[in-house]
Structure 1
């Protein structure tokens, strides 16, 4: 049997397997949509809304009575069904408590980066983006990874639902394009937008490398240029790059002004993150030598997929905290069955209408997630000059 025939059989076999997988993914998407209905952000009880808005429940009820905000929807028995995120943001507008950055504050562009796969990079990115949206910020999540994991967590099967023209791909290819606005799409979360990804970004990786090698190094600034074109509309931009050192990852580092490194507390992941830091150091040196410096306002490490019930993980967490000091987030992102259950439904734990395992497991996972994201929110606020007085008043600085 000739090599050509062997190759064609292999290609056919791989193609058939791929098509079957896509059919399964489409079925999972349809099943999740059937079970949950139209995708929507969670509803919040009035006590939670009071925390988010910064007003008392009495003030909210009074504003409803005098017509400053619409009365919340109720059941036939008269019970409040909870407030949508859009309604919460409308309250913030009325009460003047939106947390948006001022014009003099820089947009926070956070790269969630590690060159090893399976560290929870997309899980961190999607949950961070949604948490910040709940807090009232204007957020854009940019999926720069051809695998499209962050895109999937918003209910899309990348290569079924997303066309290449809706991703970063056209902007990387066409230097005549001046804005990324074409790729920014609304999500079912108020004030949270998404630039999705699909497999075509894999081609962009090689095309960019080839063009950069032909004396077009300015392409490393291409993503940064695109983000500048949309930055006025956002407070925070979260970048989910590929888990490898390539041209898109380099572009992400050039575009970001903050770096968040997810890192499970295992020996293998600690070793790979050490390698990542070595590669990052060498890469930053090279970029600086070529007049493409990278300047992060902060760098933080977050322990992901953590199980503090395991003695080895506890030891490694202690080592990481001693090693990284203040650069290590105090809260860990625990390994949670609820996050896995949500991911199987192409969503996050913030979107689950009810616990899948138990209320205790759900609440524990949510508490750790909120703790991690609250620390990141504080890092963001410290980079905004307009927040300095408020942070001092809160005793945070």
Structure 2
């Protein structure tokens, strides 16, 4: 027998890994629907609506307001996420997207894995939904981590027809066929699976056969018909400069780059910007009007920040000096809350009640809340500018 590991053994490992993931997920998550959105107390609903608690108590007994009363639970009441979003819509101070304006597309990108790219996409979607927004999340990564965060296993629960592949192949003209609801009210999903790898072969092949084919513009065209239905489209990209990443970047109105303040991640981020700049230069030869491409904003988000590490302060300074105004004045800390939530295929927003230190939970939650609020304010400003220029 020849030494080493034959390729045939890889299938055995893959099968065991898939089964183990199913077992782990089933042990951590409740039966179908396996993921459940959190419930909210009266105080939490008031905080999300930016009103005093007594106003919520006063309002739920007013049928003319059309507000769901929740369910009495001992001395308080509990509200589902869907009910809470009704309260936010009715009482919240958030400016709605003006008629005649379209939703904005935000790509979350970085060419290195493990930088909290997928967590950033999911928490931003959840946070914006709590501002009354309707959000579509698109998973373009064959690893399907964003899909997993919605409680869906790509290898056993996602068919090719639920991904963007029919759009890529030209079998569909827009992405409506692939949109599915998630456990989180206000957030819909276009899922991913390992089948997305085939797009990396099909797009250049089609381009070589058809000089009029615009491989970089497929996703952009497919999203256009849904931009009146959603306030925000958030696109989670693969950790590589792939054809799918190019489609996401060319379709996006804005870009967010999560970057942990570690030396290795900082070094990797320089490669991201160099490759991104090379892409822009190369696209000039393919797209005559590429110079007209403008991003409404580009943000570098400091993620997975561990302030207890001495190196964090130095690398943070490097990042600020390098990216200057691109750096958001918000940092996402690494905490036991985020770690425990990730271990259960969730985020801080999935936690109804944290068993550990409330101070630790609030520190993590407040960072994501501030991040979502800042992005929401930018979206409102862009919509208003769009309406005024119409």
When normalised by structure 2's length, the TM-score is 0.91
Question: C-alpha displacement at 1:14, in angstroms?
Answer: 0.4
Residue 371 of structure 2 corresponds to which residue in structure 1?
372
Write out aligned runs for 1:92-107 (5 A): 92-95=88-91, 99-107=95-103
Residue 326 of structure 2 corresponds to which residue in structure 1?
327
Question: C-alpha displacement at 1:300, in angstroms?
Answer: 0.6
Residue 222 of structure 2 corresponds to which residue in structure 1?
226
Write the distance in 1 (CA, Å) between the matches of 2:222 and 2:314. Answer: 43
- Asked whether 1:28 is paired with 2:24, we answer yes
Write out aligned runs for 1:196-345 (5 A): 196-214=191-209, 215-291=211-287, 293=290, 294-345=293-344
* Mean CA deviation greater in 257-266 or 324-333: 324-333
Question: C-alpha displacement at 1:239, in angstroms?
Answer: 0.5
Question: C-alpha displacement at 1:221, in angstroms?
Answer: 0.8
Pick aligned residue for 1:74 from 72, 75, 80: 72
CA deviation map 1:261-284 (0-9, x unaligned): 111111111111111111111111
Secondary structure of 1:330's aligned partner: strand
Write the distance in 2 (CA, Å) between the matches of 1:28 and 1:331. Answer: 34
- The answer as to whether partners of 1:98 and 1:137 remain within 8 angstroms in 2 is no
RMSD of aligned residue pairs (Cα, Å)? 2.4
Question: C-alpha displacement at 1:57, in angstroms?
Answer: 3.2
CA deviation map 1:249-268 (0-9, x unaligned): 11011110101011111111
Secondary structure of 2:105's aligned partner: strand
Question: C-alpha displacement at 1:243, in angstroms?
Answer: 0.6
Count of residues in Structure 1 that have an aligned counterpart in Structure 2: 382
Residue 392 of structure 1 corresponds to which residue in structure 2?
none
CA deviation map 1:291-331 (0-9, x unaligned): 26232111110111111121211111122223322210111
- Asked whether 1:166 is paired with 2:162, we answer yes
CA deviation map 1:346-392 (0-9, x unaligned): 11111123325433322222122223333222332332216999xxx
CA deviation map 1:17-64 (0-9, x unaligned): 000000111011211223898522222222332232244433333332
Write the distance in 1 (CA, Å) between the matches of 2:113 and 2:195. Answer: 19
Cα distance, 1:45–1:386 mapped onto 2, change above 3 Å: farther
- The answer as to whether partners of 1:99 and 1:136 remain within 8 angstroms in 2 is no
Cα distance, 1:349–1:113 mapped onto 2, change above 3 Å: same
Unpaired segments of 5 or more residues in structure 2? none
Write the distance in 1 (CA, Å) between the matches of 2:40 and 2:325. Answer: 33
Question: C-alpha displacement at 1:236, in angstroms?
Answer: 0.7
Secondary structure of 1:361's aligned partner: helix
Residue 346 of structure 1 corresponds to which residue in structure 2?
345
Question: C-alpha displacement at 1:97, in angstroms?
Answer: 5.1
- The answer as to whether partners of 1:99 and 1:137 remain within 8 angstroms in 2 is no
- The answer as to whether partners of 1:72 and 1:80 remain within 8 angstroms in 2 is no
CA deviation map 1:162-187 (0-9, x unaligned): 111111111111x2422211111111
Secondary structure of 1:100's aligned partner: coil
* Mean CA deviation greater in 349-358 or 299-308: 349-358
Unpaired segments of 5 or more residues in structure 1? 390-397
Q: Which one has a larger percent strand, Structure 1 or Structure 2? A: 2
Residue 49 of structure 2 corresponds to which residue in structure 1?
53
Question: C-alpha displacement at 1:145, in angstroms?
Answer: 0.4
Cα distance, 1:96–1:276 mapped onto 2, change above 3 Å: closer
Write the distance in 1 (CA, Å) between the matches of 2:164 and 2:215. Answer: 13
Secondary structure of 1:384's aligned partner: helix
* Mean CA deviation greater in 363-372 or 155-164: 363-372
